[in-house]
Amino acid sequence: MRLSRKWATIAQLAGCDGLHFHDLRHEAVCRLYEKTTLTDLQIAKISGHKDLKMLKRYSNLRGSDLAERLW
């Protein structure tokens, strides 16, 4: 059985229909931006992104978090 089918079964049993495995990567990258002071390059190294443009696509910073860092 392929991983994608196993993942779909796990997500369904957990009550998370529609949750895809790659959603976890997105969530993890967002949390790294929110909870750490790591640089873009460090987060890219951790997440395996080779292109910073792609990393920026995944990293949705909250406006309030960004404002806090400015002041």
What is the tens place of the pLDDT at every residue in 21-34?
Answer: 888 888 898 888 88
Q: How far does Cα 9 stand from its chain's mean position?
A: 21
The residue type found at 35 is: K
- Percentages helix, strand, coil for the chain (3-state, rounded to 5) are 70, 0, 30
Query: Phi/psi zone of residue 15: left (φ > 0), alpha (ψ -120 to 50 degrees), beta?
Result: left
**To the nearest whole percent, how much of the chain has pLDDT over 90?**
15
Q: How far apart are alpha carbons 41 and 59 in whole angstroms?
A: 13
Tell me: pLDDT of 46 over 70: yes
Encoded tokens for 65: 């978090």
Spatial contact of 39 and 66, defined as CB atoms under 8 Å apart: no
48-67 pLDDT, tens digit each = 998 888 888 766 666 666 77
